[in-house]
Amino acid sequence: MAAKKERDVVKEYSVKQTVEKLRRLADCLESGKPFRIQIAGERINVPAGAVFNIEHEREGNSEEVEFQFKWENKSD
């Protein structure tokens, strides 16, 4: 399997889309299932055992809260 290209993508969603994604995410977390999402044309599979963290950043008048999942892919 070819190595995946590095990328750093930010995708904005409407409130309705965000709610739908968060509901699906909550269902997967509660049931212990992986979460699948497509971001900017790439399908992402977040494994059930991924580490979840929340990050807060502040710079001047700007603030940001990020909900993150981190995991390592198995190499073949």
Record the pTM.
0.77
60: left (phi over 0), alpha (psi -120 to 50) or beta: left
Whole-number Cα distances in Å, 71 to 17, 34, 61, 63, 68: 24, 12, 32, 26, 10
Q: How many residues does the chain have?
A: 76
- Determine which helix (DSSP H) or strand (DSSP E) holds 63, and give its type and residue range: strand 62-70
Give 14-52 pLDDT, tens digit per residue: 999 999 999 999 999 999 999 999 988 899 999 999 999
Q: pLDDT higher for 4 or 35?
A: 35
